[in-house]
Structure 1
Amino acid sequence: MAKATLHALVAEQKILNRIYVIRGQKVMLDRDLAEMYGVETKQLKRQVNRNTERFPKDFMFTLTAKEFENLRSQFGTSSWGGTRYMPMAFTEQGVAMLSSILNSKTAIEVNIRIIRVFTRLREYALTHKDILLQLSQLEKEVKNNTRDIDNIFAVLKELIETQSKSSRRNVIGFKNYNKER
């Protein structure tokens, strides 16, 4: 594998590892984007705050304290340091908009990679939608089967209990009195 191709795969994997699902949307956080763009997080936030009209709520939102705590707990360690402000989360459209306010060559190249990864994720989701639907249907069937199996065991248990109560009766049928003693 060529060195450039390997570098691109590593870069894509790095981007994928930094896409989170928050509020049901795939997003990237300000600190991860700033690191990839080669700028400080506060510089990225400053540029966003100077251009708020470019970032409606479906492009960018600020995490709540609870969302931030949930996100930190997923990492297991507090590598986040002492953040003064809650992180900003950027959707795919928000990431695309960042390229218009961060004009560095690095920011543009990174944005192109990020948008391509988001596009592949969307294509992957669409091409595998039928598989996901089938898995969802199978899951529902399994849940129904579990209830049916529980019902079968309940009936069997009842039958066994009923049979053990009735086994105390005298046995009806032919008795052989000519047995050798």
Structure 2
Amino acid sequence: MATEPASAAHPIEGLILSIRGQRVMLDSDLAAIYGVTTGQLNQALKRNAERFPSDFAFVLTRQEFANLISQSVISSSYGGRRTLPWVFTEHGVVMLASVLSSPTAIEASVKIVRAFMLMREQLALHSVLAGKLSAIEQRLIGHDSEIADLFDALRGLLAEPEKPRREIGFHVREEARLKAAAAKTKK
């Protein structure tokens, strides 16, 4: 019994996960999009295993599967999965559509590839923005040190100069000594 294909109201971008540093989709999500059961999808995968190298599709580890359940990506209720799920990269999705070779699968494949492309563009945009923010932060750090130097200089100008201390004791002043010397030379 085939399931209904995913509607346009269900955004494909939300089904794309990041696992092992790759953007992938779960077999159950792809089955819903392609309008087949997960069992039919996995059966087609097994019949055409040579078309799915490890960079196209792979089985999740128990730990990865547990993480998905804890993040509420996969239901943990009874009657759910009994085996670890397969996940498919963008290339695996295209290959899967060719294996299923139904009009629904081909149409859905185009939508999925567009979703992957959109995510790639958004990631590039985020990288550019992160670079610009880093440059602004570095510039601000430079401005902070320049402003601190400016405040130090202003504090130096605003500080009252130290009053000269009154000397204690008998001191011969330079002028008095010069006058005395001049008076001696006149004689």
TM-score computed with the length of structure 2 as normaliser: 0.63
1:85-124 paired onto structure 2 within 5 Å: 85-124=83-122
Q: Structure 1 residues 106, 42: closer, same or farther in 2, change over 3 A?
A: same
1:18 and 2:6 matched:
no
2:45 corresponds to which residue?
A: 48
Q: Deviations over 1:38-81 (max 9, x none)?
A: 11101100101111111111110100111001001001852584
| Partner Cα distance (2:135, 2:77) in 1 | 40
1:60 and 2:57 matched:
yes
**3-state SS of the aligned residue for 2:23?**
strand
2:123 corresponds to which residue?
A: 125
Q: CA RMSD in A?
A: 2.6
Q: Structure 1 residues 95, 75: closer, same or farther in 2, change over 3 A?
A: same
Residue type of the alignment partner of 2:115: V
| Partner Cα distance (2:47, 2:136) in 1 | 50
Judge conservation of contact 1:72–1:80 (CA < 8 Å) in 2: no
Moved over 4 A (4+): 135-141
**3-state SS of the aligned residue for 2:76?**
coil
Residue type of the alignment partner of 2:86: M
In structure 2, runs of 5+ residues without a counterpart are 1-6, 142-187
Match of 1:36 among 13, 33, 54: 33
Q: Structure 1 residues 30, 140: closer, same or farther in 2, change over 3 A?
A: farther
Q: Percent identity?
A: 50
Larger Rg belongs to: 2
| Partner Cα distance (1:44, 1:139) in 2 | 49
1:170 corresponds to which residue?
A: none
Q: CA deviation at 1:124?
A: 2.0
Q: Deviations over 1:89-122 (max 9, x none)?
A: 0000100111110111111111110001101111
Larger deviation: 40-49 or 131-140?
131-140
Judge conservation of contact 2:57–2:88 (CA < 8 Å) in 1: yes
In structure 1, runs of 5+ residues without a counterpart are 1-6, 145-181
**3-state SS of the aligned residue for 2:118?**
helix
Match of 2:66 among 52, 63, 69: 69
Q: CA deviation at 1:24?
A: 1.1
TM-score computed with the length of structure 1 as normaliser: 0.65
